[in-house]
Amino acid sequence: MSRDRRTPFNRVGEFLNQWSVPRQMRGADHRTDAARSRMSETLRPRLEDADRVGTSICPYCAVGCAQLVYARDGRAIHVEGDPRSPINEGTLCPKGSATIGWMNAPDRLSKVLHRAPYSDRWEEKPLDWAMDRIAHLTRQTRDETFVEALPGGETVNHTLGLASLGGATLDNEENYAIKKLFGGGLGMVWIENQARV
């Protein structure tokens, strides 16, 4: 945008015109009329353009602060504390306030990366290909390592060849599904999360 050429005289005049103190001295209310400036005239609520808001829970620690997530065109634009929550009453800590930064982090992955054995690089792969490959490897490892009974005859029906780690950052429904499929379905016993770290 091109800007008008402004002389020092113009600038001083503009400053005096915009500065709230002279107007306050003339009796204008510092909270309303005197607070106005050319900049404030153009200020808009940052959530004005949101087309969606949902309730969320802070993804960091376990205090469980409630959040409001505002979005526009399928992208989160703002996250703030939910004032209705008896836990945080609208507040958030430095981590909770960074939730929008987590959702929109510059380093977020959007594609599956695959590193083949002995390779020196990541390669992007389709999601379906990765799911098929992981299902195949899971079956193969399970079949190679499954133990139905110990040498003494005790039934164990487990595999020690597969492990899963993580869960404390996930939803209850996800933990349930992990334990059900990995434990109840595949016979995995190495299933752990951050509860011990």
Partner 1 sequence: MPSLGTSYGRGAATLAQWDLAKSDCVVIMGSNMAENHPIAFRFVMQAKAKGAAVVHADPRFTRTSALADIYAPVRAGSDIAFLGGIIRYLLENDAWFRDYALAYTNLSTIIRDDFQGPEDLDGVFSGFEPDMKAYFVDSWQYEGMAVPSPRSEHHPQTEMDFTACAGRMSEKPPHRDPTLRHPQCVYQIMRRHYARYTPEMVERVTGCRKETFLKICETLARNSGRERTSAFCYAVGWTHHSTGVQIIRAAAIIQALLGNVGRPGGGILALRGHSSIQGSTDIPTLYNMLPGYLAQPNVNKSHGSLDDYLKGETPPTGWWHNEPKYVISLLKAWYGDRATAANDYGFDWVPKIIGDHSQLPMTLAIRDNVIKGMFLLGQNPAIGGSNSRLVQRGLAELDWLVVRDFAETETAAFWYQGCPVRDGELAPSDIKTEVFLMPASIAGEKDGTFTNTHRLVQWHDKVVDGPGDSRSELWFIHHLAKRLKALYADSRDARDRPIQALNWPYPEVDARGEPDVEAVLKEINGYTCGDETPVGTFKDLKDDGSTACGCWIYSGVYPKEGHNQARSRKADGPGGPGTHLGWAFAWPANRRTLYNRASADLDGKPWSEEKTLVWWDADKESWQSPDAIDFEPSKAPGYQPDWNQKPEGMDALDGGSPFIMTADGKAALFVPSGLKDAPLPTHYEPIESPVLNPLYAQQSVPTAKRWNREDNPYHAPEDAQYPHILTTYRLTEHHSGGTPTRSVPSTAELQPEGFCEIPPELAARHGLRTGDWVVLETSRGAVETRALVTSRLRPFEIDGRAVFQIGMPWHFGWRGYATGDVANVLTSIVGDANTTMHENKALTCRLRPGRLSGGRR
Q: Which of residues 113-172 bind partner 1 (CB under 8 A)?
A: 113-120, 122, 127, 130-139, 141, 144-146, 148, 150, 154-172
Residue 75: phi and psi, rounded to 5, are -125, 135
Q: Which is nearer to partner 1, 20 or 141 (CB)?
A: 141
The candidate with the shortest Cα–Cα distance to 187, out of 163, 166, 152, is 163
Which lies closer to partner 1 via its Cβ, residue 28 or residue 114?
114
Residue 194 falls in which region: left (phi positive, over 0), alpha (psi -120 to 50) or beta: alpha
Judged by CB under 8 A, the chain residues 9 through 68 that form the site for partner 1 are 52-67
Q: Which two tokens stand for residue 184?
A: 């109840």
Residue nearer to partner 1 on the CB measure, 32 or 155? 155
d(CA 142, CA 18): 74
Q: Which of 6, 11, 36, 111 binds partner 1 (CB under 8 A)?
A: 111
Q: Which is nearer to partner 1, 37 or 157 (CB)?
A: 157
What span, in angstroms and rounded, lies between the C-alpha atoms of 78 and 99? Answer: 9
Q: Does 112 bind partner 1 (CB under 8 A)?
A: yes
Q: Of residues 86-105, which lie at the interface with partner 1 (CB under 8 A)?
A: 86-88, 91-99, 101-103, 105
Q: Is 197 in the site for partner 1 (CB under 8 A)?
A: yes
Contact 103, 75 (CB under 8 A): no
Select the residue interacting with partner 1 from 25, 32, 75, 151 (CB under 8 A).
75
DSSP code, position 121: S
Does residue 80 interact with partner 1 by CB under 8 A? no
Tokens of 133: 């490959």
| Residue 78 binds to partner 1 (criterion: CB under 8 A) | no
